[in-house]
Amino acid sequence: MNVDVDGDTLILGIETSCDETAAALVMGGSDIVSTVVSSQVELHASFGGVVPEIASRAHLELLNPVIARAMVEAGVRDDRIDAVACTIGPGLVGALLVGVSAAKALALAWDVPFVGVNHLEAHLYAAMLEDPSVELPVVVLLASGGHTLLVEMREPGRYRLLGQTIDDAAGEAFDKVARFLGLGYPGGPAVEQVAHEGDPAAIAFPRAMRNEGLDVSFSGLKTAVLNHVRDHPDVDTADVAASFQAAVVDVLVVKARRAAAEVDAKGLALGGGVAANSALREAVLDACMADGLRAYLPSRSMCTDNAAMIAAAGWHRLRLDGPSPLDTGAYPNLRLTSTEPT
Amino acid sequence: MCAGERTGHNVLILGIETATQQVSVAIGGHEGVLGLFEVARGRRHAETLIPAIEFVCRQADITLDELGLVAVDVGPGLFTGMRVGLAAAKALGQALRVPMIGISSLDLLAFPHRRSDRVVVPVIDARKGEVFYAMYRQVPGGLQQVAAPRVGPVEELVADLLARSQDVLCTGVGAHRYREQIIDGFHCEIADTAFPSAGPLVQLAHARALREEWVSPADICPVYLRAPDARINWATRARAGTGGGAHRA
Ligand SMILES: [Zn+2]
């Protein structure tokens, strides 16, 4: 299947890797025509995390109406769609399979290319989607419930992994601490809200590996929070939340600045759900100001999982590699691999 | 749902069946089954299904836009595999703007034995020592369900068979797996059929299509018969790279 990929190429993106069922239409890799996200967060809240089987069932139920809504909102007919892009990993296998199966069936029915997209790569495009004037290279800090990565993007499709977490993801640390403090789920917004009332300097939590390298570690911080609360039963929860958040933000920003300096980046971009955290956004803005970098802070809805970023990544992948085969499956452990030697 | 001229007597039906370890795709209509692809081992459902649909269409010399209806096995069966077929079928129904018919995997297993004098009991392995099963008997013109689909331990199935005290024909991959227990507990015949197939799916769907018993893709619902396992596996989740995540994403 031969396709010209240009500014008019309209791609339907589909995302079902975790607990958001999403569809979007994006033209030319950067022009969002419509984007629809149906969150399952309430289905999972009482369990304190995402329950895979519940997520898979919900995706199957929600996907058709979500796609239909994205088409109606865009006001386009089926025959205007040039390709179907879908997350093939990483993620929950049962959840991924719903999107992949539907996306390939749509591509077959419409006789257009199917493009399998790495969810992590898609997060890298979120900042560029809203600010097409982005000057490369940039360092992207991708922080979510499952990942914490520092990536250098030299040009679309060309990137290099600079550093990552060696244990818990940043978002996972938020979730676990929120659970321990009884703040509910999801942990990020819950901690952030309580932290507003607290003193970020109240407790000096450890900042592991702060002064060397580009990898991060949050496991020790999580344990320190648990121990501190056990040893000081009367401690103010708001102070704990604020001090914990300050430690996470400090480490992430220190590493991102170091990465930007090492690769001589022109800017620093955020991606992933943790990038919706206000303290992190402010700290990144301050750091960019101080270092003479441009800051790319996607809107909160572009930080969390959405299908516009999948369609955008699909446009770049289709342009660079062409269509994916129809026997593509789901790859729950898919990684972000550098496209050039590190 | 628009059901134009493509849904008349000559309607062409695509059947998709992925409720057990088999992937099965068929095309058929009033002439019966025109094309059938089946594979019971090998690559996983998601990898196999769409190429199988392409293959059957090409070999039967039928293009997707000639289809008037999409039929799908709605379970019960293995959840992940089942959803691959359901997601693809619903997407095809939506994209091709054709109506759909959902049929139970247990109906499909019973169908080849519609002329048996025995009580036909399709059994599908539900893992964890349990089986999905239902009971049917011959009536003029086909089969009638005499016990509704349920899920339970094999011992319960055997007790149900005993309670019936009739000649029984068990069929399906569950009957094969628990052959010994079923035969020891209750003397019955076990049929060779192991998997529900898209062949009977297309045949049964054609009969229903003539009665206009179709629905829109949005109204096709899976039959799980079992509540979701609500455990959160933090380790798997972290490795899989997803998660509730702080701000999930
Ligand atoms: Zn994500």
- How far A193 CA lies from chain B's nearest CA (Å)? 12
pLDDT single digits (tens) A168-206: 999 999 999 999 999 988 899 999 999 999 999 999 999
Say which of A54, A276, A333 has its CB closest to residue B247.
A276
Give the tokens for residue B39.
């594979």
pLDDT exceeding 70 applies to what percent of chain B? 90
Only one residue has tokens 């179907």, namely: A84
CATH code: domain A10-125+303-321 is: 3.30.420.40
Q: pLDDT exceeding 70 applies to what percent of chain A? A: 98
Locate the chain A residue with the closest alpha carbon to B233.
Answer: A51
What's B193-238 look like in SS3?
CCCCCHHHHHHHHHHHHHCCCCECHHHCCCCCCCCCCCCCCHHHHH
User: According to CATH, where is 3.30.420.40 located in chain A?
Assistant: 10-125+303-321, 133-300
- Average pLDDT (B141-170) is 93
Determine the angle formed by the axes of helices A237-262 and A278-291, rounding to 10 degrees: 40
pLDDT tens digits for range A297-327: 999 999 999 999 999 999 999 999 999 999 9
Output the CA B191–ligand 1 centroid distance in Å: 48
- Domains belonging to chain B, first-starting first, are 4-104+196-229 (3.30.420.40), 106-190 (3.30.420.200)
Q: Kindly identify which residue of chain B lies nearest to residue A114, measuring between CA atoms.
A: B50
Query: How confident is the model over A237-253, as a mean pLDDT?
Result: 97
Q: What is the pLDDT of residues B28-68, one digit of tens each?
A: 999 999 999 999 987 899 999 999 999 999 999 999 999 99
Under the banding of pLDDT at 50, 70 and 90, the label for residue B247 is: very low
Measured between beta carbons, which residues in chain B are less than 8 angstroms from residue A53?
79, 228-230
The ipTM (two decimal places) reads 0.93
Give the closest-approach CA distance of B245 to chain A in angstroms.
3
Among all residues of chain A, which has the CA nearest to that of B218? A64
A280-298: buried (b, 16+ CB within 10 Å) or exposed (e) per residue?
bbebbeebbeeeebebbbb
Per-residue DSSP letter, A323? P
Contact list in B for residue A90 (CB cut-off 8 A) is 240-242
Task: Please state, rounded to an integer, the average pLDDT across all residues of chain B.
Answer: 89
CATH superfamily of A133-300: ATPase, nucleotide binding domain (3.30.420.40)
